[in-house]
Amino acid sequence: MMADLFGVERVQGLATRDAIVTVDEEAALIARIDRQQLSPFRFQGWLGKRLTRSFGWSYDFENGRFDKAEPFPDWLETVRESAAVYARLPIDQLVQALLIRYDPGAGIGWHKDRPVFEHVVGVSLGNAATMRFRRRRDKAFERLSVPLAPRSIYHLSGEMRHHWEHSIVPMDMPRWSITFRSLTATIV
């Protein structure tokens, strides 16, 4: 890891940038997400506080099944293109979109994205959040926290994607996100 000018550790495979969309674009995206048929996140009989919907591909955490989902709606294409440009990926590699609305008290526990996915590119909307990262080092965890400002984007790849777990701290305010993923070479 390398330290930047502010003393924050930089890990290979983690990139962030503020203001990927404008305030007006953010409001329109939030309204579009809220008009979707969002469903509570389900994991092995547990019902999460966040609401989700997938496009392109879907991973069902109840039965461990990975399958095709509805195609991307037209309104997601502009933000998908911005995410692809930011991540320096061809747009057609971002084949999955996950919409999430985090109601007050919702977060995401420690996890790594499923191995079928490679690049993870997320757009954070609504309110600021904290994304935490950890990886086991000997008998302890190495940890890192990254603020996600409203309208910001992040890209997880390489070391950060495969060797670190991440989570989102539960918040008192609502938050929305759009997460795009590519597939691993073995799936394509």
CATH number of the domain at 13-183, please? 2.60.120.590
At 80 the pLDDT is 95
Provide the token pair at 56. 């392109």
Q: 187 by DSSP, 3-state: which?
A: coil
DSSP 6: T
Amino acid at 63: N
User: Can you read off the two tokens belonging to residue 172?
Assistant: 């008192």
12-66 tens-digit pLDDT? 788 889 989 999 999 999 999 999 888 776 555 555 677 888 899 776 655 556 6
Residue 107: phi and psi, rounded to 5, are -155, -165
Pick from 179, 188, 139: nearest CA to 155 = 179
Residue 159: pLDDT band by 50, 70, 90 thresholds? confident
DSSP string, 56-125: SEEEETTTTEEEE-PPPPGGGHHHHHHHHHHHT--GGG--EEEEEEE-TT--EEEE---TTEEEEEEEEE
Run of H or E residues at 32: helix 23-34
The answer to whether the beta carbons of residues 72 and 56 sit under 8 Å apart is yes
Give the C-alpha separation, 121 to 84, whole Å: 8
Q: Cα(89)–Cα(81) distance, rounded to whole angstroms? A: 9
Contact 100, 55 (CB under 8 A): no
The whole-model pTM stands at 0.83
The 10s digit of each residue's pLDDT in 80-127 is: 999 999 999 999 999 999 999 888 887 777 777 777 778 899 999 999
How many angstroms separate the CA atoms of 150 and 155, rounded? 15
Look at residue 137 and tell me whether its pLDDT is greater than 50: yes
